[in-house]
Amino acid sequence: MSSHVRDLRGVIESEGAVIGVLLTLKDPTKPMQDFAYSSGCFYESKFGHFAKLQMLTIQDLLEGKKIEFPQIFPDSLKTNSPKSLKPEQLHLF
């Protein structure tokens, strides 16, 4: 399984991805976690500090844990009402 972490980290780097997530059935091992979080593998934005390579288990998802990523949209965009959308809110950066 550690080869999956290594592969995902390589894809994140080669594709210039901001964040990648490995979804697993079993808990990640200590070596997998060490490799995932080594060498400053973090994404910094004005919205916070996030691990570039995240690992979640199915159990994590069932317990409500979520992928950590920049929450750039205000609460008004979470509604289903198109009236709440303003053009200036739709820009990512």
Convert the pLDDT of each residue in 15-57 to its tens digit: 988 889 999 999 999 998 888 877 567 888 888 888 889 999 9
HEC string of 11-24? HHHHHCCCCEEEEE
pTM to 2 decimal places: 0.67
- Boundaries of every domain in the chain: 2-90
Distance (Å, whole) CA 69 – CA 77: 16
Report, as an integer, the average pLDDT of 55-77.
82
DSSP conformational letter for 40: T
Helix/strand number for the chain, H first, E second: 3, 4
